[in-house]
Amino acid sequence: MSIVEICQWLQDTSFGTSIRESTWTFPIIEGTHLLGIAASVGTLLVMDLRLAGWLFRREPFSEVTRAVMPISLVGFTVMFATGIVLFWCQAVKAYGSIFFKIKIALLLLAGINALVFELTLRRQSAAWDSDPVPPLRARIAGITGLILWAGVICAGRTMAYNF
């Protein structure tokens, strides 16, 4: 089976069809997806702006992270779950969209950026936690996160308007 055939099967399941053809279900899921994006990316924006040294310069990085990460994780979970359902009900269109492919690539890069930060810079954050401007590598991670998440959102919204 090709990927397109798998996508066709997926969207033709009774679950995919019922969501796609429902008057209310699809818009509710899409709205919930957008709320998940707002919660997740909005809070990550605060953390990335702190990493960049552009916001909350008087607040320790650890305090900013402690305040925003629980909200971000809940938002990410909602965003991820609803994104899967949205893909499920329109898999062929999504898979055929260049904007979907860009969005997935940027999501992967954002994940890699976060993973590299967590595995390297986070361990050293005690040394620069209260510095108004973190070290260059931390600033680069923050700015990279800002750019990648902006790209994810732009690609996702553009994808939605080109179906």
Sequence-distant (≥ 6) Cβ neighbours of residue 6 within 8 angstroms: 91
Dihedral sign, Cα of residue 77, residue 79, residue 80, residue 85 = positive
Give yes or no for residue 109 having a pLDDT over 90: yes
What percentage of the chain exceeds 90 in pLDDT?
94
Give yes or no for residue 90 having a pLDDT over 90: yes
pTM of the model: 0.91
Give yes or no for residue 68 having a pLDDT over 80: yes
- How far apart CA 86 and CA 106 sit, in angstroms, is 18
pLDDT band of 163, cuts 50, 70, 90: confident
Q: Where are the domains of the chain?
A: 3-161
Give yes or no for residue 17 having a pLDDT over 90: yes
**Stretch 85-105: mean pLDDT:** 96
Give yes or no for residue 160 having a pLDDT over 90: no
The lowest-confidence range among 32-41, 71-80, 129-138, 154-163 is 154-163
